[in-house]
């Protein structure tokens, strides 16, 4: 059979080149290789790939097969990649020209990120700035989301990002820094620099290295009102970390503040604006809008929504925007106070409604011509991501004896399967980080799925089929979920504080293990003589430790050797039966049908208790 018109085989020098358009169909590909389809199918089966004659092959697998038979495979996708790359480059350069046109550039508000150790007062400081009370609304007083807020001070606007301080939210905190112009490192005057303070400082300094001219670092020494506050100690620690304060000959602006009493707040805001003036922060509000996703979540009734910060251009209601595999026709926008807004100029935080799904935090979005183009770009990204996954799965796995034993061991290992549902995307990431950090050789943890939104009946059905637990973080269940979960035997656990979630999941994993058996010695009796009793012998003993109980587990020990192990069937005190004999008293003991007691033997009583196994 001659090759399809979509497939051409040419000789280029010493190499035979197969050129074809996607998809690579088994029948056409076999013909191009000069093989019968069943022969190609047989080779694929040897690679662990089962394909029908009309099925398409993954390009990576096809290329490998072509090479094996002395061919070079070229799959021609729509459009020349080189020309497309050049066109994209020209498009970007054209956009940069628009951006750099000085007549269109205007001053924009600074975007400020607040970093620091947990409980050093970052959110309280922001409260003092915003005159709001965010901290009391956060579970355990720990900020677990990135919040974006804008304030007016001295007739100028400042945008703030409040980032989580808990260790699990490192990625979120890093993401917060990447969208900002000014980083405020909050250090408690009584505690000084702590591990997370150093980690936050590292994030800020890395950011400063990447944006040498457009990034500033300030230090706010908080809790100046508390007992033990020591400003000089903090400044000394700053000096050790090569961020010496200005009054010590360095370059780092340092402002002592008290978030609780509100002192030093105005000075801090003035310093932020001063730094913004030095940085000369400008943007083109006339350009097509683009920016960064700060947070995303699923809102009941309104669907997926995302908090964004516009970095250039002006975002308007009705715009079509795309972010990775998700896109949106902006139906509505709200500011940080929940008020509806029609447009968001540069450095403005806004909540955008109209997304097809929840975009990943930290990713960038851009405005495109229309909804059709946005949908097309999102679908292309979905296809690209799917192709990466498919290619990874299509790579044939080597079957060796070691891998077979490893697979058998894996199937026998105990596994805790979990489905994660959270209120916002950043929390999903943080919960996953917490759970993946739990290491155990006895129990493995498998995350079946992660999603944003309330716990639904579909989640329960999925958990029932997968045999998994549903873990909810800062989220609720829809009506009817609880009885359905009970019917399917699905466990649902919800939490508001992340470290409690981690501890509970660790306990769940430990509960899957068979309990450890712990033996406790309850009493010892020394054999002093033996006496005949019915058809056997009974040991005349003196109880030397603890107590001896009838029907208790016991063993007869002769030196280091255990002669017999069983239960105490007979326990007598003189001629009377007894249930218990304590230390210092004599008694007669007989274990089961054992009769081989000797003078000097010890009879030890013990209890076996089940103890929860440790990971």
Domain parsing of the chain, residue ranges: 7-75, 109-280, 290-386, 403-512, 516-611
pLDDT digits (tens, 9 = 90+) for 95-145: 443 444 677 788 899 988 888 776 667 778 887 887 644 445 555 554 444
pLDDT at 606 over 90: yes
φ and ψ at residue 85, rounded to 5 degrees: -65, -40
pLDDT over 60 (residue 396): no
Chain centre to alpha carbon of residue 205: 24
CA angle 145, 360, 333 (to 5 degrees): 75
pLDDT at 177: 54
What pLDDT score was predicted for residue 510? 86
Q: Which CATH superfamily is domain 290-386 in?
A: Translation factors (2.40.30.10)
Angle at 194 between CA 224 and CA 241, to 5 degrees: 90
Mean predicted confidence (pLDDT) in 296-323 = 86
Give the pLDDT confidence score for residue 492 in this predicted structure. Answer: 92
Question: Cα–chain-centroid distance for residue 358?
Answer: 16
* Nearest CA-CA partner of 41 in 20, 25, 21, 22: 25
Q: Is the peptide bond before 23 cis (omega within 30 degrees of 0)?
A: yes
With beta carbons less than 8 A apart as the criterion, state whether 65 and 40 touch. Answer: yes
Beta bridge partners of 609: 518
- How large is the greatest C-alpha to C-alpha distance in the chain, in angstroms? 115
As beta bridge partners, residue 340 has 334
For residue 341, what are the contacts with CB-CB under 8 A and spacing of at least 6?
A: 333, 334, 335, 350
**Neighbour-count burial of 73, counting CB atoms closer than 10 A to its CB (0-12 exposed, 13-18 middle, 19+ buried):** buried
For residues 543 and 521, give the distance between their C-alpha atoms in angstroms, rounded to a whole number: 13
Which of 347, 345, 349, 346 shows the shortest CA–CA distance to 336?
Answer: 349
- The pLDDT tens digits of the residues spanning 204-252 come to 787 666 655 578 889 999 888 888 888 888 899 888 888 888 888 888 8
Q: Is domain 403-512 given the CATH code 3.40.1670.10 in the classification? A: no
> Can you list the alpha helix ranges (DSSP code H) found in 58-191?
59-68, 81-100, 122-130, 170-178
pTM, full prediction: 0.57
Do residues 309 and 111 lie in contact, with contact meaning Cβ atoms separated by under 8 Å? Answer: yes
Nearest residue to 588 (alpha-carbon basis) of 535, 536, 529, 546 = 529
CATH class of the domain defined by 109-280: alpha beta
Phi-psi region of 42 (alpha: psi -120 to 50; beta: other; left: phi over 0): alpha
Backbone angles phi, psi at 406, to 5 degrees: -65, -40
Which ranges constitute the DSSP H helices of 101-164?
122-130
Q: What is the pLDDT of residues 474-526, one digit of tens each?
A: 888 888 899 999 988 899 999 888 888 888 898 888 888 888 888 899 999 99
CATH of segment(s) 516-611 = 2.40.30.10
Please enumerate in sequence order all residues whose Cβ is within 8 A of that of 50, keeping only pairs 6 or more positions apart, or say none: 44
Q: What pLDDT does residue 200 have?
A: 79
Q: What rounded mean pLDDT belongs to the chain?
A: 81
pLDDT of residue 143: 42
CB 279 within 8 A of CB 216: yes
Distance in angstroms (rounded) separating the CA atoms of residues 456 and 344: 34
Alpha-carbon distance 40 to 34, whole Å? 10
CB 112 within 8 A of CB 158: yes
DSSP 141: G
- For residues 313 and 288, the answer to whether their CB atoms sit within 8 Å is yes
Q: Give the SS3 label for residue 226.
A: coil
Query: Under CATH, which number does the domain 7-75 receive?
Result: 1.10.10
Closest CA to 554 of 589, 585, 515, 578: 589
Instruction: Say if residues 136 and 310 touch (Cβ distance below 8 Å).
Output: no
Ramachandran angles phi, psi of 538, nearest 5°: -120, 145
Domains 290-386 and 516-611 share a fold: yes
How high is the pLDDT of residue 171? 55
């Amino acid at each position: 059979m001659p090759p399809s018109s979509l497939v051409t085989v040419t000789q280029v020098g010493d190499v035979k080149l197969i050129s074809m358009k996607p998809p690579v169909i088994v029948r056409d590909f076999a013909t191009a290789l000069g093989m019968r389809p069943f022969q190609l199918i047989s080779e694929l089966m040897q690679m662990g790939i089962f394909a029908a004659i009309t099925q398409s092959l993954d390009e990576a697998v096809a290329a490998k097969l072509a090479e094996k038979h002395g061919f070079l495979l070229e799959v021609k996708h729509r459009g020349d990649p080189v020309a497309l790359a050049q066109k994209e480059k020209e498009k970007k350069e054209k956009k940069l020209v628009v951006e750099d046109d000085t007549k269109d550039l205007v001053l924009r508000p600074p975007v400020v990120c607040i970093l620091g150790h947990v409980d050093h007062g970052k959110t309280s400081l922001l409260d003092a700035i915003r005159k709001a009370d965010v901290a009391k609304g956060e579970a355990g007083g720990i900020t677990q989301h990135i919040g974006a807020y804008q304030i007016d001070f001295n007739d100028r606007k400042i945008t703030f990002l409040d980032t989580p301080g808990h260790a699990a939210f490192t990625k979120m905190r890093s993401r917060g820094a990447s969208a900002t112009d000014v980083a405020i490192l909050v250090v408690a005057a009584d505690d000084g620099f702590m591990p997370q303070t150093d980690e936050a400082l590292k994030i800020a300094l890395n950011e400063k290295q990447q944006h040498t001219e457009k990034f500033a670092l300030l230090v706010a020494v908080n809790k100046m009102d508390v007992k033990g506050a020591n400003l000089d100690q903090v400044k000394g620690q700053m000096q050790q970390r090569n961020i010496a304060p200005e009054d010590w000959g360095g370059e780092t602006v340092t402002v002592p503040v008290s978030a609780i009493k509100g002192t030093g707040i105005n000075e801090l805001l003035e310093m932020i604006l001063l730094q913004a003036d030095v940085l000369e922060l400008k943007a083109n509000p006339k350009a097509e809008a683009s920016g960064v996703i700060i947070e995303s979540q699923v809102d009941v009734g309104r669907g997926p929504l995302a908090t964004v910060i516009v970095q250039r251009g002006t975002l308007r209601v009705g715009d079509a925007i795309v972010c990775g595999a998700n896109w949106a026709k902006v139906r509505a926008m709200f500011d940080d106070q929940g008020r509806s807004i029609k447009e968001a100029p540069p450095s403005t935080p806004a909540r955008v409604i109209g997304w097809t799904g929840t975009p990943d935090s930290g990713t960038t979005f851009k405005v495109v011509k229309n909804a059709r183009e946005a949908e097309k770009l999102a679908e292309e990204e979905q296809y690209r991501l799917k192709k990466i996954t498919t290619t990874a799965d299509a790579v044939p796995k080597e079957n060796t004896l070691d891998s077979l034993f490893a697979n058998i061991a894996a199937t026998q290992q105990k596994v805790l399967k979990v489905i994660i549902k959270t209120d916002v995307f950043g929390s999903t990431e943080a919960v996953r980080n917490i759970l993946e950090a739990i290491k155990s050789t006895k129990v493995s943890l498998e995350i079946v799925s992660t999603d944003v939104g309330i716990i639904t009946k579909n989640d329960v059905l999925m958990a029932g089929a997968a045999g998994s637990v549903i873990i909810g973080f800062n989220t609720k269940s829809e009506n009817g979920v609880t009885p359905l979960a009970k019917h399917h035997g699905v466990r649902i656990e919800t939490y508001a504080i992340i470290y409690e979630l981690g501890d509970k999941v660790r306990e769940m994993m430990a509960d899957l293990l068979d309990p450890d058996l712990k033996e406790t010695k309850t009493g010892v009796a020394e054999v002093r003589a033996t006496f005949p009793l019915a058809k056997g012998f009974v040991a005349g003993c003196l109880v030397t430790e603890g107590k001896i109980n009838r029907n208790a587990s016991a063993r007869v020990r002769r030196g280091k050797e255990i002669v017999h192990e069983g239960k105490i069937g007979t326990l007598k005190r003189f001629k009377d039966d007894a249930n218990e004999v304590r230390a210092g008293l004599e008694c007669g003991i007989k274990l089961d049908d054992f009769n081989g007691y000797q003078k000097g033997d010890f009879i030890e009583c013990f209890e076996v208790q089940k103890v929860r196994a440790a990971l």
